[in-house]
């Protein structure tokens, strides 16, 4: 097949149309292409077997300066092959194969996150579950109008993994908790606006962009960022953007900020019944229906993992998720098999027959014991996530938000004067915009993000003497 990176690709395989992963070389770039379009490039064991040795080789090669990831067809990667996993897990003699799949997948996710050179991931299509794991810690993550992003594991009686407890707990407010529990999708520019992508570029521009990447003589992070910014797509007036703003975002943060699923449901119920904003009432009602369709066990496991992951390194979060995955594969709940069978095999539209069926029948302390304590490497009951020797376990990962829009926490630090570049304890909106325009070098979307955050999180304090309005963060 033709390469997007070079005019004359150099595939490493003899039958590229049949191999599930294609490898290409062009100038300083080394590209892996997920090539199971009929399965939306869902990760399976043969794909992982091909990916890891090649990524490790490129990571240590002086000739490979940039690693690029992309997919063939409508998806970058729609997830992992959970049907095979559940089939393996259902029999004691093949259960180790199910656990080994997650072990291989999570180690692959860490290797890509820690790759010691620029990694550009093109999420030009469906990017869910296991696909998010391959992409979300890349330094450069491209969303297009075709991107559909989700962590839908609670829909199938499982829990968000591939590092989700790490990255979902670090995006603004409680958006990660909301996405992790409901399995809701976000699309197109919204993936960029919420920080899951660092750049938004129209799909038609991707081939030319990859050719320009391959033409870089001495690629650096800064040069790559400049190249991606040059290809960026400005937001058109009628273009869909995220709906999670304003009052709806305030309601989301309030409801999903609770530390039990029961309290989240209670808060949403109150919003659905009595919130002054009709849009919020409708959103809360829909969200209650979504949570009601999910596995109660999965909801509680997911929330516990996201809360714990916020204080962990990526490696520790992946280990926790490995322990949780081992519990799911070892029959800690029947819901994983029930969900995969109902949703992916039989494709029924009704709520799967979860057991227990109600939140109040799922014991929180039992969840913590069964999913977070029973299966661990220390007890010899779960495999250990072990980086390859060339990656120091103490390696400091490059901040995946470095080239993204500023986070809400970063904006707050500039407002309250704790940011290293603030230079003052008081700041106006115009000064705030100018600071971030300089820091992000005119990055598209920065102004819109800051204005939305200021409207929601800041009060204006008038200084009549200086004729200025200072921003004050609402606590």
Confidence of residue 212 (pLDDT cuts 50, 70, 90): very high
In the predicted structure, residue 16 carries a pLDDT above the cut 80: no
Mean pLDDT, residues 63-86: 97
Catalytic residue among 69, 71, 79, 80: 80
- Strands 458-463, 199-200: pairing is unpaired
Taking residues 209-229, what's their average pLDDT? 96
> Residue 11: is its pLDDT beyond 60?
no
pLDDT tens digits for range 157-173? 999 999 999 999 999 99
Q: How confident is the model at residue 321 (pLDDT cuts 50, 70, 90)?
A: very high
- Lowest-pLDDT choice from 107-116, 297-306, 416-425: 416-425
- pLDDT for 15 beyond 50: no
Listed range (294-303, 393-402, 403-412, 446-455) with the worst mean pLDDT = 393-402
Decide: residue 84, CB within 10 A, 0-12 exposed, 13-18 middle, 19+ buried: middle
Query: How high is the pLDDT of residue 5?
Result: 35
Catalytic residue among 107, 161, 172, 253: 161
Confidence at residue 68, expressed as pLDDT on a 0 to 100 scale: 98
| Spatial CB neighbours of 338, under 8 Å, sequence gap ≥ 6 | 157, 295, 352, 353, 354, 355
To the query of whether residue 153 is one of the catalytic residues in this protein, the response is: yes
User: What is the structure's pLDDT at 149?
Assistant: 98
* pLDDT tens digits, 21-68: 999 999 999 999 999 999 999 999 999 999 999 999 999 999 999 999
Distances (CA, A) of 466 to 251, 428, 461, 469: 36, 12, 12, 9
Contact present, 35 and 22 (Cβ < 8 Å): yes
243-253: pLDDT as tens digits: 899 999 999 99
Residue 281 has pLDDT above 60, yes or no: yes
Per the residue annotation, which of 71, 129, 130, 176 is the catalytic one?
A: 130
The verdict on whether 130 is a catalytic residue reads yes
- Report residue 17's pLDDT band, with 50, 70 and 90 as the boundaries: low
Distances (CA, A) of 251 to 236, 275, 319: 27, 9, 32
Catalytic residue among 107, 153, 174, 193: 153
Percent of the chain's residues with pLDDT above 70: 96
pLDDT score, position 424: 75
Percent of the chain scored above 90 by pLDDT?
89
Looking at residue 310, what DSSP letter applies?
T
- pLDDT of 239 reads 75
What DSSP designation does 458 have? E
pLDDT bucket at 233, cuts 50 / 70 / 90: confident
pTM above the 0.75 mark? yes
Q: What is the pLDDT of residue 241?
A: 79
């Amino acid at each position: 097949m033709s390469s997007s990176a070079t005019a004359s690709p150099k595939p490493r395989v003899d039958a590229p149309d049949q191999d599930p992963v294609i490898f290409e070389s062009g100038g300083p770039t080394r590209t892996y292409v997920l090539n199971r379009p009929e399965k939306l490039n869902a990760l399976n064991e043969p794909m992982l077997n091909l990916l890891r040795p090649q990524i490790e080789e490129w990571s240590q090669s002086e000739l490979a300066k940039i690693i690029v990831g992309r997919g063939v067809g409508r998806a970058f990667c729609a997830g992992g092959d959970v049907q095979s996993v559940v089939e393996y897990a259902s029999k004691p003699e093949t259960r180790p194969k199910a656990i080994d799949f997650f072990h291989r997948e999570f180690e692959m996710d860490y290797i890509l996150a820690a790759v010691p050179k620029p990694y550009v991931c093109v999420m030009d299509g469906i990017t869910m579950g296991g696909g998010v794991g391959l992409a979300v810690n890349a330094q450069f993550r491209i969303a297009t109008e075709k991107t559909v992003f989700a962590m839908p594991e609670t829909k199938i009686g499982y829990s968000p993994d591939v590092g989700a407890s790490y990255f979902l707990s670090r995006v603004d407010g409680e958006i990660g908790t909301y996405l992790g529990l409901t399995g809701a999708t976000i699309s197109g520019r919204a993936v960029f606006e919420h920080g899951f992508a660092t750049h938004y570029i129209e799909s038609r521009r991707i081939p030319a962009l990859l050719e320009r990447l391959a033409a870089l003589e001495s690629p650096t992070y800064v040069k790559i960022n400049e190249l991606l910014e040059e290809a960026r797509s400005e937001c058109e007036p009628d273009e869909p953007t995220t709906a999670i703003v304003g009052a709806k975002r305030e309601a989301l943060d309030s409801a999903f900020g609770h530390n039990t699923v029961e309290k989240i449901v209670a808060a949403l119920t109150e919003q659905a019944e009595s919130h002054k904003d009709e849009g919020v009432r409708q959103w809360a009602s829909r969200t209650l229906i979504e949570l009601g369709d999910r596995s109660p066990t999965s909801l509680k496991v997911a929330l516990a993992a996201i809360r714990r992951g916020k204080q962990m390194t990526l490696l520790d979060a992946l280990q926790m998720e490995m322990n949780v995955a081992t519990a799911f594969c070892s029959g800690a709940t029947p819901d994983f098999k029930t969900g995969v069978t109902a949703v992916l095999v039989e494709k029924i539209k009704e709520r799967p027959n979860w057991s227990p069926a109600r939140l109040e029948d799922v014991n929180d302390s039992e969840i913590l014991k069964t999913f977070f304590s029973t299966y661990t490497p220390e007890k010899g009951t779960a495999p250990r996530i072990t980086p390859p020797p060339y990656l120091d376990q103490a390696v400091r990962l490059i901040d995946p938000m470095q080239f993204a829009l500023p986070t809400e926490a970063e904006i707050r630090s500039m407002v309250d004067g704790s940011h290293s570049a603030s230079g003052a304890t008081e700041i106006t909106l115009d000064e705030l915009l100018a600071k971030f325009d300089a820091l992000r070098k005119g990055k598209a979307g920065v102004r819109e993000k800051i204005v939305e955050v200021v409207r929601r999180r800041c009060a204006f304090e008038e200084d009549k003497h200086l004729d200025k309005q200072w921003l004050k963060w609402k606590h």
